Structure 1
């Protein structure tokens, strides 16, 4: 499964910070849009994946040359 291998691929490619949010299923779209807005506003790269059936979203902030403040 792709989901099972996403983290292994990320470990090989980059450093990242993973957040683990629980969101009501009917708010998934809103949460994804919000993370995309943050991505554009702060010029960061964000990847979202998760378990839609139980309301779990993993938001991954890919680390590049970001300062600690970012």
Structure 2
């Protein structure tokens, strides 16, 4: 019996070449982050991306190693 080659997993184009990061926040912090998202019109993903950039800038590190 022939085995079928595994199908490649579909990846959304916006996620190609990116890695996911998961964090657990206290409910109050998550609520405030959600409110900030509504106030600014930015998604939680965009807010988290901006905060990571700010952390690198604060520590005077480049965003990439290249």
TM-score w.r.t. structure 2 length? 0.34
Larger radius of gyration: 2
TM-score w.r.t. structure 1 length? 0.32
| Bigger strand share | 1
Q: Which structure is richer in relative contact order (CA contacts within 8 A, separation 6 or more)?
A: 1
